[in-house]
Structures are given as C-alpha cells and as structure tokens.
Amino acid sequence: MSTSVSPTLEHEHRLIDAGIIDFADADPRAVNPTALLEAIAVLRRHIYLEEEYLFPPLRAAGLVGPIMVMVREHGLMWPLLDRIEQAAAAGDTGTAGQLCRDLLEQLNSHNMKEERILYPQADALPPGDLDELAGLLSTAELPAGWVCGGVAVD
C-alpha cells in the first residue's frame, strides 16, 4: 500500500470550493477578492501537484484514459482562472462572480471523478510511488510560468 494522499487532496478540494463559493455567493458590492485569489492560487498549485507528481505513476499503472480526461479538464479551467483573476483585479466583481459559478460547475464534476476514480487508485499504488507527492503536499509552490498540460501554449 502506498502513502495515502487522498485525504489531503480531497481536503484541498473543499478549501478551494469554499473560497470560490464564498465569493460567488457574496453581494458583488461588498466582496473582498483576497480569499478568492488565495483559493485560485491553491487550485493552480493543486493542479500542478496532480499533473507533475500524481498523474505520472497513475498513467504508468494503466490509467491513461482517465488521466487524459483530467488533464483536458485542467486545460479548460486554466484560462477561466486567468479570467477570474483579471476580473477581480479590475474590480469587476459581478463578472468575477459569474465566472466563479462557471468554474464551480466544472469543479463539481471534475472533483467527483478524481475522488471516486483516481484518488482510490493512487492510494493503492505500490509503496514509494507517491512518497515525493506526499512530501510536497504541504510545502510545494507553483513554479513561475508553469502551465497545466491541457493548455495550448503559444
């Protein structure tokens, strides 16, 4: 049995969702985008850790199709995160709130698939396969300029 990473990854899903929901549900005239921007930063870091440290051993274990779907979905979210950040920075909280609701729809489906399919498979990997990920969950930072695999880079 490998190191169990699902509880931490699932907990991050809940923290990310809460930050986005709080912003989306707030009165646009009275919101503070700081918590939203923090949630987006955690989501970007979460995607990075999955793509760089979780997905490779799962792909090697034969979960190629599910990983392709997750990377594609990350690629759909990434530019939406950019748009949310831009709207929040410009003070356009109404647009940012609507974009957050769009993101939450994507996350609802995406997170369910990860939690029901990928994370249990990750916890069943051979010992040592996820040790690096387990060690990075509390310390890793998103490298400057890193973009998820599902986004086309010019």
Q: Are 134 and 49 in contact (CB under 8 A)?
A: no
Report helix angle 34-49 to 6-25, nearest 10: 150
pLDDT for residue 38? 95
Q: 30: how many CB neighbours lie within 10 A of its CB?
A: 7
Helices assigned H by DSSP within the chain: 6-25, 34-49, 55-60, 64-89, 93-113, 119-123, 131-136
pLDDT for residue 2? 58
- Tally of residues, the chain: 154
The encoded tokens of residue 122 equal 């990750």
Q: Are 115 and 28 in contact (CB under 8 A)?
A: no
Distance CA 95, CA 83 (A): 9
pLDDT for residue 152? 63
Domains, in order of start, for the chain? 6-136 (1.20.120.520)
Per-residue model confidence as pLDDT tens for the chain (154 residues): 456 899 999 999 999 999 999 999 988 778 888 999 999 999 999 999 999 999 999 999 999 999 999 999 999 999 999 999 999 999 999 999 999 999 999 999 999 999 999 999 999 999 889 999 999 998 999 999 999 988 765 5
pLDDT for residue 138? 87
CA 25-28-34 angle, to 5 degrees, is 80
The encoded tokens of residue 6 equal 């699902």
